[in-house]
Structure formats: C-alpha cells, structure tokens
Structure 1
Amino acid sequence: MRPERRAHALRWHDKTRATQMEFGLWQVWEAGWVTAILRGASITILVGLVSMAAGLVIGIVCGLIKWARIFPLSLLVDAYTSLVRGVPELLIIYLLFFSSVEFVTKVVTAFGYAGVAESGYAFVIAVIAIGAISGAYSTEVVRGALGAIPNGHIEAARALGLSGGRIFRRIIAPQMLRIAVPGINNVWQTTIKDTALVSVVGLQELMRISFIGANSTRHPFIFYLIAAVVYLAITLVSQAGFDGIERLLRVRTRK
C-alpha cells in the first residue's frame, strides 16, 4: 500500500473509532444507562458495607478466640480461616448459591413469596459469601493487632486491680483498633472488589449492570471503563475516610 493510502486509511480508522466512542457515550446517557449504573453502584456499596460489618463482627470474635487460644474453638477458627483463604472467592459464592438456591426457592414459593426468592436471595447469598470472606481476613488482622499489644500494658492493668472488662475497654480495645485500622482498610478495599464476583448469581450490582449494558449496546469498552472509574472513585473516597480515621486515632493516642 502506498504511503498516501496508508495515511488516509489510518485517518479514516481513527475518525471511525472516535465516532463510535462518541456514539457510545451518547447512547449511555441518552438511553438512561447512567441511572442504572448509579443504582448498581449503590447496590455494590450496600453489599460491601453489610458484608464488611458482618466480617468485622466475625473477625473480632474469631480474632479474640485465636489470640486467647481458647481450645477447641481456636481449632475451628483455624479451620475456617484456612478454608476460606485457601478456596477462590468465586468458588465460595458458587458453592453457597447452588447448594441452597433450590431448597430456598421451594420453601418461599410454598409460602407464596416466589418474588422474594428471585429478587432478594442473590443479595443474601452475596452478603453471606462476601461477609465470610472478609471475616476470615479480618480475623487475621484482629489477631495480629492483639498480638502487637505489649504484654506489659495488660500486666500493669491487672496489677492495678482492673477487671477483665475494664482492661479490654481501656487497654486492649483502643490499641487494637489503632493497630488494626490499616489492615481493616485493606480488607475493605478487597471486599469492594469482591462484590464484582456476585454478578454471577444475578445480583444487579455495578458489574452486572455493566455486563448487561455492554451486551445490549455492543459497546463493552465504554461500560467497563465507566465501571472501572466508579470502582476507583469508591476506593479513593474510602481511602480518604480511613486516612482520616488513622489521623484521629493518632491524635487521641497522643492525648
């Protein structure tokens, strides 16, 4: 091909690509996909928050059990954390969903709530699965934070005659929280990204909406790029929030 024709072909290709990009962005806005994407993002954040809350409860309880070495509960906690961290997150979601969806559907249908099984069960599975995953990692974060507290602080509190409850509230909990915040931040960031996996069970979160939009409009790059920007925005806002919490805890510790 002559250089002139090659240059003309390249210009035509770039112009066509730019036109497709412009058409794709306009189609996203004109067809109301922005509202759907924002709704999916809100569900993503909701799943992340509820799952993280459940994971923190699990992490604190299991972390205390591992730290205190309460037998035989510590063995069960070790098995739980090893199992969850050793199995891919997507496989955990599949196992939970397909092991229970048929039974739950039959039960709620028998009571006349078939719509609940279709709309709400995916959300429940998402929270249970992501909560169990974040709980396993939160357990190790809490256990590590408890292990980093100097034993001398606890022994000094006991020497002063403080009760176990007051030692936990005044000595253990504040230091544990300050040490654990960076690790909890990492667990939260991972939890938000793990919510993208629950699209496989039909939950209409951000990744699922992006997948539907990509297939409907045949502009996958546009929708997945928007999804990436939204995930990044959630991450940046979350990071700023955790940075503020860390600064606040440092100030309170100095006082």
Structure 2
Amino acid sequence: MGLATTMKLAVATLPVGMIIGFLIAFAAMSGIRAVRYVGVGYTTIMRGLPEILTLFVVYNGAGLLLNSLIKWWNPEAEGTDFSPFLAGVIALAMVFGAFAAEVIRGAYNSLDKGQIEAAAAVGMTPQQTFWRIKLPQLWRFALPGIGNLWINMLKDTALVSVIALDDLMRMTKVAVGVTKQPFTFYLVACLIYWVLCVLSEMILSRMERHANRGVRRA
C-alpha cells in the first residue's frame, strides 16, 4: 500500500511539474520584462526553499484558503481537511518545476541557431519550427537533467509522510512502531527506494538512447 501511494504521488507530480517547468522557463526567457522577472523570481525563490518547508506551507496554507472560501460561500458550512496527497503533488511539482525550468532554459539556449534560421529560410512557420526543430532537440538536451530531477523527486516523496500520507516512509514508521525493529524495516525501505531509482535509471538510459538516435558521436 505504501509503495503504491509513493508511485502514484511521483507519477502524478511529474506531468504537473513538467508543465510548470516549461511555463516558467519560457517566462524567464520572455522579451517582456515583467514576465521575465516572474520566471526568474519563481526559480530563485523555489530553489532556495527547503522542500519540507514548501510542503508545510502548501498543506497548511491551502487548507486555510480552502476553508476560508467555504466559509465565505456558506458561513454555516463545516471546515474540511485538505488532501495530503494533493498537497504533496502541488508542493513537489512546484519544486520540481523550478529546477526543471532551469534545465529546460539551458537546453533551449543550446539549440543550434543555424537550424532555426534554415527552417525560416525554407518557409516553416514559427509553430512548425518549434514542433519539428526546437522541441525534439530541446527534449534531447534536457532529458539527462530531467531524469536526475525525477530520481530526486522520487526520493523526496518520503517527505510527505510528515503530513500523514500513507506512503512508503510512513508505513515503514508504522511497522517500526509496532514491531520495534527499526533496522530491519528501514533497511527494507532503503532497498525499495534503491530499486526504484535503479529501474528509473535503466528506463531513462533507454529514453536517452532513443532521443539520441541518428546523432553522430565524436
């Protein structure tokens, strides 16, 4: 049960974090100064905050906001608890997105400007240039960094145990409390996280080979 919750949390966080990463990356590269400040400011703030602090702020802050909205809509309504799973997804995605934005921005700056100019010369529209020229190469350059962020985020899911989400780490703590065998269960948890990371590295390695197909090695 705990392992399934951990995997659901990680898989749910990844697409949300990628969307945030792309939006913030392009905001940071925007020609509009105000938008660029928002993008740079977001990455600067989020990368400087501890993940567990972000998790507490989201869990408690979103809960307070939700209950305030409910009270405003219906003063007689009872308060409700904010979902720990949803709080975990939001907090981890915010952190993942901040780091992913820097990876994506670096990958975008590595694109061959000559190919973009050639695409314009043959009459390709900006949309065609993005989908056919920029995005495939952007993905190839960004994939190693995104892969590292995925592995880090997979391990950071252990933090959600502090807000009472029954993930792998929390269930391990429960087992330790019942059996009084901390070494055994924490060692098993370590092995499970290690296996997940090794499997992720194998999948990422295949993805990188696929993304780099046709690229001549020096």
Counterpart residue number, 1:76: 38
Counterpart residue number, 2:135: 173
In 2: Cα distance, 1:67 partner to 1:105 partner: 37
Name which of structure 1's ranges 69-78 and 177-186 shifts more when overlaid on structure 2: 69-78
In 2: Cα distance, 1:42 partner to 1:252 partner: 37
Partner residue of 1:52 out of 14, 17, 24: 14
Deviations 1:139-188 (A, max 9, x none): 01110110000211111111222100000011100100111110010110
Counterpart residue number, 1:140: 102
**Per-residue deviation, 1:218:** 0.7
Name which of structure 1's ranges 147-156 and 124-133 shifts more when overlaid on structure 2: 147-156
**Per-residue deviation, 1:101:** 2.5
Partner residue of 2:24 out of 47, 62, 85: 62
Mapped contact 1:56–1:135 kept (Cα < 8 A): yes
In 2: Cα distance, 1:146 partner to 1:40 partner: 38
**Quick one: which amino acid aligns to residue 187 of structure 1?**
L
Counterpart residue number, 2:173: 211
Counterpart residue number, 2:53: 91
**Per-residue deviation, 1:113:** 9.1
**Quick one: which amino acid aligns to residue 124 of structure 1?**
L
Mapped contact 1:67–1:146 kept (Cα < 8 A): no
**Per-residue deviation, 1:252:** 4.9
Correspondence 1:163 to 2:115: no
Mapped contact 1:202–1:208 kept (Cα < 8 A): yes
**Quick one: which amino acid aligns to residue 6 of structure 2?**
T
In 2: Cα distance, 1:220 partner to 1:243 partner: 34
**Per-residue deviation, 1:65:** 2.5
Mapped contact 2:24–2:39 kept (Cα < 8 A): yes
Deviations 1:13-33 (A, max 9, x none): xxxxxxxxxxxxxxxxxxxxx
Mapped contact 2:24–2:42 kept (Cα < 8 A): no
Length, aligned pairs only: 212
3-state SS in 1 of match to 2:111: coil
**Quick one: which amino acid aligns to residue 241 of structure 1?**
I
**Quick one: which amino acid aligns to residue 133 of structure 1?**
V
Question: CA 1:210/1:77 → structure 2, altered by over 3 Å: closer, same or farther?
Answer: same
Mapped contact 2:27–2:38 kept (Cα < 8 A): no
Correspondence 1:101 to 2:59: no
Counterpart residue number, 1:150: 112
**Quick one: which amino acid aligns to residue 61 of structure 2?**
S
Mapped contact 2:28–2:38 kept (Cα < 8 A): no
**Per-residue deviation, 1:100:** 3.0
**Per-residue deviation, 1:98:** 2.0
Question: CA 1:160/1:228 → structure 2, altered by over 3 Å: closer, same or farther?
Answer: same
Mapped contact 1:67–1:147 kept (Cα < 8 A): no
- State the Cα RMSD in Å: 2.1
Deviations 1:68-106 (A, max 9, x none): 444321110111111110011111111112223245357
**Quick one: which amino acid aligns to residue 130 of structure 2?**
F
**Per-residue deviation, 1:212:** 1.1
In 1: Cα distance, 2:160 partner to 2:95 partner: 13
Partner residue of 1:248 out of 206, 210, 214: 210
In 2: Cα distance, 1:128 partner to 1:154 partner: 35
Correspondence 1:122 to 2:84: yes
Counterpart residue number, 1:16: none
Q: TM-score, normalised by structure 1?
A: 0.77
Name which of structure 1's ranges 153-162 and 226-235 shifts more when overlaid on structure 2: 153-162
Structure 2: gaps spanning 5 or more residues: none
Structure 1: gaps spanning 5 or more residues: 1-38
**Quick one: which amino acid aligns to residue 57 of structure 2?**
L
In 1: Cα distance, 2:102 partner to 2:117 partner: 24
Q: TM-score, normalised by structure 2?
A: 0.90
